[in-house]
Structure 1
Amino acid sequence: MKTYFFALIILLAGCSKALEEKPRGLVVGSEGLSSQAGLEAALTGAYGSLMVPWESGFTTVSQIAMCMGADDLTTHPGSNKEEFREFDRFNVSSLNSRMTPIWRGCYKVIQSTNNIINNYTAVKDGEEATVHAIVGEAYFLRALSYYWLTRYWGKVPLLLTEKYSAELLNVQKSEPAAIYKQIEEDLKKAEEWVPNTKRNPGRPNKGSVKALLADVYLTEAGWPLKDASKYALAAAKAKEVIDAKATYNFDLYQDGFLKIFAGGTVEDVFTIFTRGQWSTYNSFYGLSTMPENEGGWSDFFPELNFFHNFPEGSRKDATFSTSFVVNGVTIPWQEVTTKHPYYKKFTIQSGNKATYMSNNPVIMIRYAHVLLIYAEAQARSAGTPSPEAYAAVNAVRQRAGLGNLPDGLAGPVFADAVLNERAWEFAGEWSRWFDLVRLELVEAANEDKDPGDLEPGAITKEKYWMPVPGADALVNPNL
């Protein structure tokens, strides 16, 4: 079994040796960062760690599996899906391999970005604006990585060095408050240095940084920190993005909901672009979300109550596959093996959808997120929704083919309506779980399940967080 956190320690210990062996961008020692080109290579390696197929990052089904405690995702009741079912039933083993790509990928990114952040001042040949942009992106990626780690695992090791020391083998976990403090500091630095224009489509711009910071503030306002003062900060930061959307080239994409998931639209706030090759590809589009009747794997699909409660309209039609062609015959979802609909938004392919290896992007933050962060946070902070908050949520609803929310809603009622809108808009996009956790609604969302869905075990706050991957905890009992 691979030891993922220990592997990070080996990376830290072996940077200089890795340089001698001419690595392909994943690890660059501090000696290689004396030039702007070296900084850029190290940053490319950091992005690469977000999308190593089946090994590290977000291009496998890991982040979807880990969010199955929400009511928008479930899995096959049998077959070889035991690791998926553990998340849906709240009995996750520390040996569950579906967690390791996220854990490993985030810490590999942290190692690479620590290297950049701690050594960029050695660069003598670079243009200041470009060097600052590179380092700003490194701060953004480190914050993004810690954000995912603490939302999934709660207390995690906070590592800010790229150098190995024996003490790292006994590192303690830090409380979420300390992790969030570092995330905020990193994003504020990134906000200062990342430019308004993306250096390429797979990189953030200043608006991307602000959007992530707004999302962080929204999360901090809920469990476990429960700092309600962050709602106002979330609203203010999201509003900065909305007011400058032309500067950042962001907007709601209006020419077909499904096209958003092919990437490259104005909806992209931060997106990981894959190449569809063995070096980097997306493996959760296609077979992962197709029924066995079509030759798929049935890794994930929506829970039945979630599907039935989803508002009718163009967005529902685009979100779900409800009929399937089997041997030339079209059958409804009630007749497939699992007796569930499936997610259409993750079968948009160039070519045959029945594949596990595509060049589809991983859309991490959409402009719709920004609008709904603003609407919810403004209502929760002020107690009464503003006209701008209504405009934000109604823009999303109008694109979905729905009417506007009723005027005159009280703040909590309006905020709950926005929360529902987030569920529908981001169905299956690993957003619903984090919403339920921050608002302590996990238990309520798992009550009264349809008999056709998996029944969860006992749910406690401890089970909101994942166990540290077992091999790493074995190396360091402090984990």
Structure 2
Amino acid sequence: MKLSNIKNKRWVNIIVLSLISLSFSCTDLDEDPELVQILPETLSSVETLEALVTGMYRTVQNEARWSDFYISGFGGDDITTHSGINKLPFREADWRLQTPSSARMERAYQGSYKMIAIANTGINAQDNIITRNEEEEELKDRFLGEAYFMRAFAYLHLTRTYGKVPIQLKVNSLEPLNLASYEEIYELIESDFIKAEALLPDVYPNIAVTGARPSRGAAKAFLARLYMHWAGFPIKNTSKYAMAASKAKEVIDGNYGYELSNSIRNMWTVAGRFSHNEGIYLMVACSEICGIGNRTTGRLGLPKTAGGWSEIFGEIAFYEDMETAAIAEGTMTRFNDSYISEVIPRGNKPLGSDWRNFSDEAHPILRKVAGGDMSEKEVVNSTNTNINRYFMRYADVLLTYAEAAGRSGNITSNAWEALNKVRRRAAGLDPNTPNASIDLTSGNLAELAYIERKWELAGEFERWHDLVRMDRIADAFANRSTDELVDINNPGKSPTAGPNAYYTPIPQTELDRAPQLAN
């Protein structure tokens, strides 16, 4: 796939430089200068900047394809894991019993700083880059916009996962690292997304998949997400709700190419992954071409008796509540697109059509994890699929606008329409055609949109962050089914619902290098 309109004759050189750029060592944020292969002072051409950015996305693929990159998401009331075997790290995240020494907590931390280190190299070098014509100046701006976007994206993922984290903006800085305040982190993220918004194009050129590379609309959308967190726990600056609504509305009104897919189920299939324009920003897996598949989907969402890894299941109470709501509201299409009721048996171990009769861990099967179409052999029988990994979808933007409009008191017909578009599709209807049987025009818009996010984004590792920003962790734990097996029957163990459990601890390996990062 051609990544820019730079001439093809430079492509081989770009690939080579991309591989070099992947050798950044960012496990320790105080980087060893000898390990850095491309220094800002030596980065002086647009060609090298493109190579750097290409390597940055390769790093995103390498890190974001693993489920432990989203380790905090297991705390949400929508997903759980197996009560035994080798799933202890996910169970600890599920019930917020993590300590700095818990396993599988490092990828989100180290992976994010790898992205930041590469982005910093390009950003630090921008004054050294010489452009020879208007075309190269445009390319330079676009690549720098991507670097700012990715640095903000990584810091947003870090703070949503770990809370307070250190800010590192310079390559090879020897200054000691300390935890930044939430305000400092949010202000940096805001600044970077605003710069990305100014530098990125409305539609990324020569990329066939909407959202595969960020555009101006993506920067606006992620600003809206940032403002929603800024307005909620822990800062609770409610003035940011109006800013979230404004930015989300700019995405809706803009000409960025986003629209709701006609089918939720189709988005989580290999065959249908390129048949829609709902992705705001996503990871395109390419196991056959680039060797990197999506390791958050496929067999790991199935029980052992179906040949699965039993890593990610749906939670029972959430499933039951969603089914009840779907029956009452006429949104069974979305419910059936979110869960699989009949799992294809493997070998001589038929499972039947009711997950409650599974012999190993009776849990609902999330279709977004196991794969949208269970007849796709490569989805069921693989843990390295080519299903897209969505960091944000257009449905998220619509619901952010509706909720933020409601919480800021600026309730308009457009805000109701944003909510209703998502509801119509959930009912199997055309999202753009009003329908009195499903549309809402009165009630608490903010809470209706918040609940709609709960059902719409089920199984996408997003629910936990909504619970945190609204400070509703205790309520979610209280609603968990007594049929759950994960730690609920272990003596002396209970879910931790206090603020100290809202964020995953910084890994012990990082604290050993920088003890001052301990909270």
TM-score (norm 1): 0.90
1:93 Cα deviation from its structure 2 partner: 2.4
Correspondence list, 1:29-428, <5 A: 29-52=39-62, 57-125=63-131, 127-165=136-174, 167-168=175-176, 171-199=177-205, 200=207, 201=209, 202-244=212-254, 247-254=255-262, 256-262=263-269, 263-264=273-274, 265-277=276-288, 279-310=291-322, 311-312=326-327, 313-326=332-345, 327=348, 329=350, 331=352, 332-336=354-358, 337-348=360-371, 351-352=377-378, 353-382=380-409, 385-401=411-427, 403-409=437-443, 413-428=444-459
Matched, 1:443 2:454: no
Distance, in Å, in 2 between the alignment partners of 1:472 and 1:367 is: 36
State whether residues 239 and 374 of structure 1, in contact with CA within 8 Å, keep that contact through their aligned partners in structure 2. Answer: yes
Q: Which residue of 2 aligns with 1:7?
A: 27
What one-letter code is carried by the residue in structure 2 that aligns with 1:34?
A: S
Identity, % of aligned positions? 32
State whether residues 295 and 354 of structure 1, in contact with CA within 8 Å, keep that contact through their aligned partners in structure 2. Answer: yes
State whether residues 218 and 377 of structure 1, in contact with CA within 8 Å, keep that contact through their aligned partners in structure 2. Answer: yes
Deviation readout 1:305-338 (Å, 9 max, x if unpaired)? 1001112411111111122233374512012111
State whether residues 198 and 205 of structure 1, in contact with CA within 8 Å, keep that contact through their aligned partners in structure 2. Answer: yes
Distance, in Å, in 2 between the alignment partners of 1:108 and 1:307 is: 36
Moved more, 392-401 or 69-78: 69-78
| Secondary structure of the structure 2 residue equivalent to 1:14 | helix
Q: Which residue of 1 aligns with 2:491?
A: none
State whether residues 208 and 270 of structure 1, in contact with CA within 8 Å, keep that contact through their aligned partners in structure 2. Answer: yes
What one-letter code is carried by the residue in structure 2 that aligns with 1:232?
A: A
The gaps in structure 2 that reach 5 residues or longer are 1-23, 429-436, 489-493
State whether residues 211 and 241 of structure 1, in contact with CA within 8 Å, keep that contact through their aligned partners in structure 2. Answer: yes
Moved more, 66-75 or 227-236: 66-75
Q: Which residue of 2 aligns with 1:25?
A: none
Aligned in 2, Cα 1:448/1:272: closer, same or farther, shift over 3 Å?
Answer: closer
Distance, in Å, in 2 between the alignment partners of 1:234 and 1:442 is: 22
Distance, in Å, in 2 between the alignment partners of 1:376 and 1:72 is: 20
The gaps in structure 1 that reach 5 residues or longer are 20-27
1:225 Cα deviation from its structure 2 partner: 1.2
1:163 Cα deviation from its structure 2 partner: 2.1
Q: Which residue of 2 aligns with 1:23?
A: none
What one-letter code is carried by the residue in structure 2 that aligns with 1:116?
A: G
State whether residues 321 and 341 of structure 1, in contact with CA within 8 Å, keep that contact through their aligned partners in structure 2. Answer: yes
Deviation readout 1:267-319 (Å, 9 max, x if unpaired)? 01111112115742211111111111111011111111100111241111111
What one-letter code is carried by the residue in structure 1 that aligns with 2:265?
A: L
State whether residues 12 and 164 of structure 1, in contact with CA within 8 Å, keep that contact through their aligned partners in structure 2. Answer: no
Q: Which residue of 1 aligns with 2:465?
A: 434
Q: Which residue of 1 aligns with 2:434?
A: none
Distance, in Å, in 1 between the alignment partners of 2:268 and 2:459 is: 12
Distance, in Å, in 1 between the alignment partners of 2:142 and 2:28 is: 26
State whether residues 32 and 38 of structure 1, in contact with CA within 8 Å, keep that contact through their aligned partners in structure 2. Answer: no
What one-letter code is carried by the residue in structure 2 that aligns with 1:379?
A: G
Aligned in 2, Cα 1:188/1:345: closer, same or farther, shift over 3 Å?
Answer: same
Distance, in Å, in 2 between the alignment partners of 1:476 and 1:11 is: 13
Aligned in 2, Cα 1:76/1:323: closer, same or farther, shift over 3 Å?
Answer: same
Q: Which residue of 1 aligns with 2:483?
A: 452
Aligned in 2, Cα 1:330/1:279: closer, same or farther, shift over 3 Å?
Answer: closer
1:388 Cα deviation from its structure 2 partner: 0.8
Aligned in 2, Cα 1:335/1:191: closer, same or farther, shift over 3 Å?
Answer: same
Aligned residue pairs total: 452
What one-letter code is carried by the residue in structure 1 that aligns with 2:259?
A: D
State whether residues 294 and 324 of structure 1, in contact with CA within 8 Å, keep that contact through their aligned partners in structure 2. Answer: yes
Deviation readout 1:36-76 (Å, 9 max, x if unpaired)? 11101111121122121xxxx21111144421221101111
Deviation readout 1:349-371 (Å, 9 max, x if unpaired)? 76422211122221111000110
1:473 Cα deviation from its structure 2 partner: 0.2
Distance, in Å, in 2 between the alignment partners of 1:417 and 1:459 is: 24
Distance, in Å, in 1 between the alignment partners of 2:369 and 2:344 is: 17
| Secondary structure of the structure 2 residue equivalent to 1:216 | helix
What one-letter code is carried by the residue in structure 1 that aligns with 2:241?
A: Y
1:6 Cα deviation from its structure 2 partner: 6.5
| Secondary structure of the structure 2 residue equivalent to 1:270 | strand
TM-score (norm 2): 0.83
State whether residues 65 and 300 of structure 1, in contact with CA within 8 Å, keep that contact through their aligned partners in structure 2. Answer: no
Q: Which residue of 1 aligns with 2:14?
A: none
State whether residues 96 and 496 of structure 2, in contact with CA within 8 Å, keep that contact through their aligned partners in structure 1. Answer: yes
| Secondary structure of the structure 1 residue equivalent to 2:344 | strand
Deviation readout 1:186-226 (Å, 9 max, x if unpaired)? 01111100001114342111111111111111111001110
State whether residues 416 and 440 of structure 2, in contact with CA within 8 Å, keep that contact through their aligned partners in structure 1. Answer: no
State whether residues 5 and 107 of structure 1, in contact with CA within 8 Å, keep that contact through their aligned partners in structure 2. Answer: no
Aligned in 2, Cα 1:83/1:5: closer, same or farther, shift over 3 Å?
Answer: farther
Moved more, 176-185 or 303-312: 303-312
State whether residues 71 and 108 of structure 2, in contact with CA within 8 Å, keep that contact through their aligned partners in structure 1. Answer: no
